[in-house]
Amino acid sequence: METPKPDKLDRTKADTGLNISKKARVIAKIRGFADLEAESANWVCIQKPNGEDSDSVTVSFGEQPSSRKECYKLDYCYEQNEGNGIIFAREVKPLISEVFNGINATIVACGAKGSGKTRVIQGSYEEPGLAALAVDEILSISEKMGKSITISFYEIFQDHVYDLLDPKQQEVQILENGQGKIQLKGLSQVPVKSISEFQKLYISMHNSRKPVQKITMDLPRRSHKGLIVNVSPVSNFLPTGKMNFVDLAGYQDIRRKSTEGSIFVENTKVNKSIYTLFNVVYALNANESHVPYRESKLTRMLQESLGCKSKILMLTCLSPSFCQDSMYILPRSVSTTKTQTGSQMHSSTKKATGVASVVKGRYSLKFSVQVRKLFDEAIQSTKSEKMSQKVFTFLLLQWVSGNHSYVNLLGKSDRLKSKIQESSSSDMASTIQSLVEEQDDSPLAIVYQQETTESDKDSFLHTQENQGKITPNADRSLKDLSLVEERQIIDKENNHFLINKDMSPPLSERLQEISNNLKQLISSTPQCIEIPPKNDTSNIQACADIVEPKTPDGSMIVYEKWEIANMKSPWETFNMRSSGMKNSLVQEYLKLLNTGGKEDLKRLKGIGEKRASYILELREESPEPFKNLDDLKDIGLSAKQIKGMMKKEMECLFN
Ligand SMILES: Nc1ncnc2c1ncn2[C@@H]1O[C@H](COP(=O)(O)OP(=O)(O)OP(=O)(O)O)[C@@H](O)[C@H]1O
């Protein structure tokens, strides 16, 4: 094997002054120009304050507009003219002596697709990679000690580990024994005696990967590849040290790529395991109590070589010319060092340290489903009968602010409108009536509480009549407003929730609660609402003032008069209410993602079978994977797509 020049190779920890006491050292390597690449670009800029002896360097990307130029601090960055020999001598060789002392070391190459990871780790016959250089060194030390080494090769495809030394490439089981030791059941370990034997094996391993699954027959498979070198320690009292080399699958931003079928799943799994590795390294560097090893097979199988006293070298490979994915992956890999701020961490890292969940069990789901139903119904009804946006907004505000029990659903016909008008003697009906009048001929109808039972309504109306709050006319109109379709919806929901009865309170209880709220609200309406004169154009505003968007809690909301008095201008108030409405919608949307069943998820725009399944998978690993809309990126959606989806949900309300 061609060995790098001694002056470069012999530079170890002592003479380079490198600080390898840190858990993870994060470095980068700019790949040389490939054959067809223009050599003019100088896209990656490095600042080395003390040349190659710099404790840290700064990397930025030249193509970014200067105003948005971001710099990333790394432990070091190797340039195009610096080959594998130098990286080995400075970064890997110091770790080898640690491995002979029973300490595990892991060298991970990450980076965008085609950024040179394989070239650095595996190399070629002409220019051996870090793995081959390390095995060469380890073999020579072992030989002197009269010891031998064994190696294992594996591949992780779609979060399954396969043994590459096994002709059948059997799946490897990751087991943990009673003492918390990780065992890789089914992973072959073969002795290697010479570097040429190793090189032959290694290169053939990479080139002869069998398609593990049918779907990948025609497509290049995105997978992680790993090598484990088991090293006998210098003393029998020390444990066997391991040196791991991981050539991660190239990072590809799936938001900008096709998200169809199996490729979407494959890409998502690859990216997720990359993020998990970053999160693990981040947690280890930050000395966090919880390290999410279990979130991917890669980190789980490497647990013993990442945690404890292990050493980690994160090597981020960068394309020399413009590469959007490099701009994405570098900040993430950099965030594995302690010095980075939370904002640079991947969202799932943020999740790990984020605030506690505010989801309140199945109630959220029920509420979400109901909101959804409301939206669906609104879409249907407004298709044929143009609804006033303002009135609809008002009603929606009622709904999303948790005030289900007041005015519940948008109705459908002029007949209902006239019935509401007949009910003018009741406070509630008067309010509704003035709304209707305000909106000219809008065919608005308000459906009386959809979730209450007939007997609830009867008893409610009876009570109201006895209290002189509702006229017999109002009785009739309110009764007539019960729509058959709504009953069907409720029946469906009943069935749906019965399935989940172990996780949610019985629907009857919930209905009772809502019914009570309704009664309470109606009885308290005169105290809360100041009914404006009939022709007062601020009607809508005044009515909107009675609701304040809040996190729904199922209880009635009482509004103080000062809230009405303190309103600044109709526009400001409307604006405030709209923002509240939007926020509430987003919160409910997230709750649905965090708690909804597969079928519910599929009803959301942009979520099909695959994404719904993946969301469920994410939820198995983390109870609340969606904390903000940005987290939808984890299921392969771009910021633009997320915005578009939310816009569509909103548009549907008004079309
Ligand atoms: N130092 C270099 N000089 C010239 N060309 C290089 C260099 N490193 C890599 N390349 C070329 O760049 C291409 C990608 O390299 P490589 O396969 O190592 O990237 P990768 O990051 O492992 O890709 P993938 O993400 O697909 O696994 C190859 O054609 C390789 O020959």
Nearest to residue 247, comparing CAs of 171, 155, 319, 136?
155
Decide if pLDDT at 536 tops 80: no
Question: What ipTM was assigned to the predicted interfaces of this complex?
Answer: 0.95
* List of domains in the chain: 6-250+309-325 (3.40.850.10), 361-596 (no CATH)
Name the amino acid, one letter, at 642: I
- Tell me the mean pLDDT in the region 130-154: 93
Query: Who has greater pLDDT, 368 or 230?
Result: 230
Measure the CA–CA gap between 187 and 173, rounded to whole angstroms.
8
- Tell me the mean pLDDT in the region 267-289: 88
Predicted local distance difference test score (pLDDT) of residue 21: 52
Q: SS3 of 173, please?
A: strand
Count Cβ atoms below 10 Å from residue 77 Cβ, excluding itself.
25
Mutation pick for ligand 1 pocket among 86, 119, 246, 251 (CB with most ligand atoms within 8 Å): 119
What is the percentage of the chain residues whose pLDDT exceeds 90?
Answer: 21
Measure the CA–CA gap between 458 and 283, rounded to whole angstroms.
59
CB of 116 shorter than 6 A to ligand 1: yes
Decide if pLDDT at 589 tops 80: yes
Give residue 159 CA to ligand 1 midpoint distance, Å: 24
In Å, the largest CA–CA distance within the chain is: 103
Any idea which residue has 């580990």 for tokens?
A: 161
Predicted local distance difference test score (pLDDT) of residue 238: 84
Decide if pLDDT at 504 tops 70: no
Q: What six digits make up the tokens of 37?
A: 């690449």
Measure the CA–CA gap between 637 and 254, rounded to whole angstroms.
8
Relative to the CA of 247, which ligand 1 atom is closest? 22
H or E element in which residue 489 lies: helix 484-499
Relative to the CA of 220, which ligand 1 atom is closest? 26
Measure the CA–CA gap between 378 and 410, rounded to whole angstroms.
6
Relative to the CA of 250, which ligand 1 atom is closest? 25
- Tell me the mean pLDDT in the region 257-279: 76
Give residue 231 CA to ligand 1 midpoint distance, Å: 29
Q: What is the pLDDT of residues 300-319, one digit of tens each?
A: 999 999 998 899 999 999 98
Give residue 270 CA to ligand 1 midpoint distance, Å: 19
Give the lowest-confidence range in 76-80, 169-173, 421-425, 477-481.
477-481
Give residue 124 CA to ligand 1 midpoint distance, Å: 11
Give residue 256 CA to ligand 1 midpoint distance, Å: 21
Predicted local distance difference test score (pLDDT) of residue 554: 35
CB of 83 shorter than 6 A to ligand 1: no
Mutation pick for ligand 1 pocket among 118, 225, 252, 330 (CB with most ligand atoms within 8 Å): 118
Give the lowest-confidence range in 273-277, 443-447, 457-461, 632-636.
443-447
- In sequence order, the β-bridge partners of residue 46 are 59
Task: Render 11-50 in DSSP notation, one character per residue.
Answer: --HHHH-----SSEEEEEEEPPPPTTS-S----EEEE-TT
CB of 582 shorter than 6 A to ligand 1: no
Q: What is the pLDDT of residues 447-489, one digit of tens each?
A: 333 333 344 344 433 443 444 433 333 333 333 333 333 333 3
Decide if pLDDT at 348 tops 70: no
Give residue 15 CA to ligand 1 midpoint distance, Å: 31
Give residue 171 CA to ligand 1 midpoint distance, Å: 28
Measure the CA–CA gap between 360 and 374, rounded to whole angstroms.
21
Mutation pick for ligand 1 pocket among 29, 31, 78, 248 (CB with most ligand atoms within 8 Å): 31
What are φ and ψ of residue 57, in 5° steps?
-130, 165
| pLDDT-derived band at 107, boundaries 50, 70, 90 | very high
Tell the residue nearest (CA) to atom 23 of ligand 1: 114
- Tell me the mean pLDDT in the region 561-578: 60
- Tell me the mean pLDDT in the region 377-386: 40
Predicted local distance difference test score (pLDDT) of residue 37: 65
Decide if pLDDT at 4 tops 80: no
| Inter-CA distances, 274 with 267, 449, 531, Å | 11, 49, 59
| pLDDT-derived band at 26, boundaries 50, 70, 90 | very high
Q: What is the pLDDT of residues 391-404, one digit of tens each?
A: 444 554 554 444 44
- Tell me the mean pLDDT in the region 339-353: 32
Most confident listed range (44-48, 152-156, 249-253, 572-576): 152-156
Give residue 248 CA to ligand 1 midpoint distance, Å: 13
CB of 206 shorter than 6 A to ligand 1: no
Task: Render 268-331 in DSSP notation, one character per residue.
Answer: HHHHHHHHHHHHHHHHHHTT-S---GGGSHHHHHTHHHHSTT-EEEEEEEE-SS--HHHHHHHH
Give residue 129 CA to ligand 1 midpoint distance, Å: 12
What are φ and ψ of residue 187, in 5° steps?
-95, 120
CB of 292 shorter than 6 A to ligand 1: no
Predicted local distance difference test score (pLDDT) of residue 63: 56
Q: What six digits make up the tokens of 252?
A: 């590809």
Query: Who has greater pLDDT, 316 or 566?
Result: 316
Query: Who has greater pLDDT, 245 or 386?
Result: 245
Task: Render 600-645 in DSSP notation, one character per residue.
Answer: HHHTSTT--HHHHHHHHHHHHHSS---SSGGGGGGGT--HHHHHHH
Q: What six digits make up the tokens of 127?
A: 């220019």
Tell the residue nearest (CA) to atom 15 of ligand 1: 116
CB of 114 shorter than 6 A to ligand 1: yes
To the nearest 10 degrees (0 to 180), the angle between helices 609-621 and 261-285 is 20
Measure the CA–CA gap between 590 and 606, rounded to whole angstroms.
14
Give residue 214 CA to ligand 1 midpoint distance, Å: 27
Give residue 115 CA to ligand 1 midpoint distance, Å: 6
What are φ and ψ of residue 61, in 5° steps?
-110, 130
Relative to the CA of 111, which ligand 1 atom is closest? 21
pTM confidence score: 0.54
CB of 117 shorter than 6 A to ligand 1: yes
Decide if pLDDT at 132 tops 70: yes
Most confident listed range (328-342, 382-396, 588-602): 588-602
Predicted local distance difference test score (pLDDT) of residue 206: 66
CA angle 289, 104, 73 (to 5 degrees): 65
Nearest to residue 487, comparing CAs of 422, 408, 553?
408
CB of 224 shorter than 6 A to ligand 1: no
Instruction: Enumerate residues 6+ apart whose C-beta is below 8 A from 412.
Output: 381, 384, 385, 443, 445, 483
Give the lowest-confidence range in 59-63, 136-140, 285-289, 452-456.
452-456
Residue 212 DSSP class: S
Query: Who has greater pLDDT, 174 or 641?
Result: 174
- Tell me the mean pLDDT in the region 40-44: 70
Measure the CA–CA gap between 603 and 489, rounded to whole angstroms.
15
Decide if pLDDT at 615 tops 80: yes
Relative to the CA of 317, which ligand 1 atom is closest? 21
Predicted local distance difference test score (pLDDT) of residue 623: 73
**Cβ atoms of residues 121 and 107 within 8 Å:** yes
Instruction: Enumerate residues 6+ apart whose C-beta is below 8 A from 457.
Output: 448, 449, 478, 479, 482
Measure the CA–CA gap between 530 and 585, rounded to whole angstroms.
27
Sign (positive/negative) of CA torsion 303, 304, 306, 312?
A: negative
Predicted local distance difference test score (pLDDT) of residue 580: 76
Average per-residue pLDDT for the chain: 66
CB of 320 shorter than 6 A to ligand 1: no
Any idea which residue has 């991917």 for tokens?
A: 296
Give residue 222 CA to ligand 1 midpoint distance, Å: 15
Classify burial at 428, counting beta carbons within 10 Å of its beta carbon; exposed 0-12, middle 13-18, buried 19 or more: buried
Tell the residue nearest (CA) to atom 31 of ligand 1: 34
| pLDDT-derived band at 256, boundaries 50, 70, 90 | low
CB of 382 shorter than 6 A to ligand 1: no
CB of 119 shorter than 6 A to ligand 1: yes
Name the amino acid, one letter, at 383: K
